[in-house]
């Protein structure tokens, strides 16, 4: 039986997770060079998840970014 659309949460899994799956931890350890070949996938150390924080642009920076470049607007 499925859940009704009105009862579903809009965000779902959009927020940052604090726990990685075993496959994700192994991939991260291989990327960092910490997982030697032949090692057991069990008993892995915890892997820290880096939270990404994006800064919001100020109104002044946003206005400068949308302005046309050079003399394209002039006739």
29 is a domain residue: yes
b/e per residue 5-18 (b: at least 16 CB within 10 A): eeeeeeeeeeeeee
56 is a domain residue: no
Chain centre to alpha carbon of residue 36 = 26
For 9-63, write each residue's pLDDT tens digit.
666 656 667 788 889 889 988 988 888 888 898 888 887 777 777 777 777 766 6
60 is a domain residue: no
pTM, full prediction:
0.47
pLDDT value at residue 65: 66
36 is a domain residue: yes
List the domain range (segments joined by +) for residue 22: 15-51
Total structural domains in the chain? 1
37 is a domain residue: yes
Q: List Cα–Cα distances, 67 to 33, 57, 62, in angstroms.
A: 45, 15, 9
The three-state secondary structure class of 5 is helix
């Amino acid at each position: 039986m499925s859940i009704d659309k009105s009862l579903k949460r809009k965000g779902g899994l959009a927020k940052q997770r604090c726990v990685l799956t075993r496959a994700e931890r192994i991939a991260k350890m291989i990327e960092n060079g910490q997982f030697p070949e032949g090692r057991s996938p069990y008993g892995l150390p915890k892997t820290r998840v880096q939270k990404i924080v994006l800064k919001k642009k100020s109104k002044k920076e946003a206005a400068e970014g949308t302005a046309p470049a050079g003399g394209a607007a002039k006739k």
